[in-house]
Every structure is written in C-alpha cells, then in structure tokens.
Chains A and B, each alone.
Chain A
Amino acid sequence: MSECIVITSGKGGVGKTTTTANLGVALAMQGARVCVVDADIGLRNLDVILGLENRIVYDLVQYIEGKCRLSQALIRDKREENLYLLPAAQTREKTAVSPYQMRELIYELKQDFHYILVDCPAGIEQGFKNAIAGADRAIVVTTPEMSAIRDADRIIGLIEAAELPEPHLLINRYRDGMVRRGDMLNKDDILEILATPLLGVIPEAEDIIISANRGYPVSYLPNSPVGGAYRNMARRINGDFDNMESLNQNKGLWNSVKRWIGIDSFSEVNG
C-alpha cells in the first residue's frame, strides 16, 4: 500500500524542506521505497538539502508537459538506493501545474513507491493547492513562535476544508533551555492551542545547518541526536499514526519531550 504525505506549514522558513529530506532518508533507511517530491516550483531547494543539485536533468514540470519520462525525471539518491527525488522546475511558476495534474502524478508514483513525501511551498495559494492535491494526509511543521503557530492553525483549517484526515504536528527548532526558563512556548502549550496530534519534536541544533552545508541529511548520521529524532519519527509514520494517541496523553514536560525527541542519549551528548 502506498501513501502520499504532504509536509506543509503556511509560514516559510520553519523547516519543511529539511523535514521532507530527513523523513525521506529515514523511511528509506527503514526499507521503504520513498520518493520525495519538490512542489516548490520556481524556488526549489530539496535538491540542495539532499546534495543532489548537480544531478538534475529533467524536472516535475517537464514530466507533466510530456517532455520526458517519469524515470528520467527521478533522481536516485547517491547513498540510499530506496530514495528518489523528483525535483521542481527552477525557472517556472506555480501555475505551470494544476492540482489535477499533481493528482495524476502522485497516482503514477504510487505504482512504484511506498511513500511519496511532498515538500509544499510556503503560502496558501496555488502551490499549496497543488501540493495537497494528491496527498492522503499531511504533516504540519511549526516552530514555538507566534507567527509560525498562527500560520499552522490556518493551514490546519485549510487541510480540513480539503477533506484530508486530521494532520499531525511536527514542532521544529525546540529550545529546551528557553522552554525551561519559561521563555518559549512548550510542547503542551502548542498542542493545546492547535489541538492537533503530535508526530514529534525536533530540537534546534547546529547539526542541521552543517548538514545543509554539506548536502548530507542528519538522518544518515548514526550518532546525531537530531538524526535519531527523525528516524524515530519515521518509525512512527511506518507504524500507525493512530498508535500515537496514547503517547499524546503523556504528562511531565521534559520526560515527554525526551520521549518525543526519541533520545535518552540526548542528555549524555549535551553533558
């Protein structure tokens, strides 16, 4: 059975592309055949985060316009043979593709992949509509900031309106020190405001910047705590979203954060 998951946020710069890349890598490492699709036509970046920017010959728009075969547009990851990238066009506009064409494309990809992860552009216009068109469910990425949470709320409403199942929330750039000082909204605050089940929490980490510099997602790094957090999240996706309900009930902030980050080794690394 195949599933198409769109990674969206409303606000830009909260980590959609990094999330898509790392979940894609982690799911592929766990044995699934994965295609990550860059739906940000005109501003592609998923190729850069994956370090595949020099391998692009054809793109999503060229495939949709019949200028190449799907197999020609797909780029196999150089490290993980189960992982493929379908890059966006860089010099076209969002209107180059329609929601109908996206649904057709996702249907095609489902013949060959277990998971299709769609990296949604920021905003709520045509690019967003295209990105959710073929999706079976959504992951909403937010950060513990006012503006990101507000936009996440708007996006959650639009996902409901599009009659997709209830999305899951990924809280990115979580700064435990600030949370403990009471200077940052904590996980439970955010969940209370957005009333959306949690997929996981990713701590703010230098690893993410370094790995973007290298084009080498942290999910590949066996000893990276953040990589571990992504791998745990991928396991939850690979299992059943519904099984997470019990975990969502957990009390005790730091313990539950540690559980969601998925690393008891986190404290060892920092201290």
Chain B
Amino acid sequence: MKIEIFGSGCHRCVQVEKVVKGVVSELGFPISVEKVDDIARIVDAGILHTPGLRINGKMKCSGRIPKADDVKKWIIEERPQ
C-alpha cells in the first residue's frame, strides 16, 4: 500500500504529512508514505491545489487538510483484503 502526499513544503502540506503519519503508526500495518515536493511531479500528477493526498494512486483529497478519521477510513477502504 502506498500513500503519496503532494506539497511544495508549506505549512499546510506539513500538517497533512503529520496527520497521515499519525494514522499510519496507529494502524500499524505496512504502508509506504512518500512526501512529493518536486513541482514537476505534483503537476504531472494532475494536482491543482496543494496539499494533495493519493492512496494507491487514487486521489483522495486536495487543497485541504483532511481529518485523521477520514484518512483512516480511506486507508481501510484501500487495504487489500
């Protein structure tokens, strides 16, 4: 399972990373979390509003800081059975 956080390093993007890392350590199964701060890659991914969050290549939210509960729900939805 792969989570990507897109953001060029501003305050909001750091917040998203914090929220996601918190949830991941709480859930405790193997998930790779990658912070993408290269602008070319952010644009290639089709993200307009940073921060963006993608789980297993699926766009989950952009332009806002998601709540921990939402992130947990998304991860559980995407978890391979």
A binds B: no
On B, residues with C-beta under 8 Å from A are none
On A, residues with C-beta under 8 Å from B are none
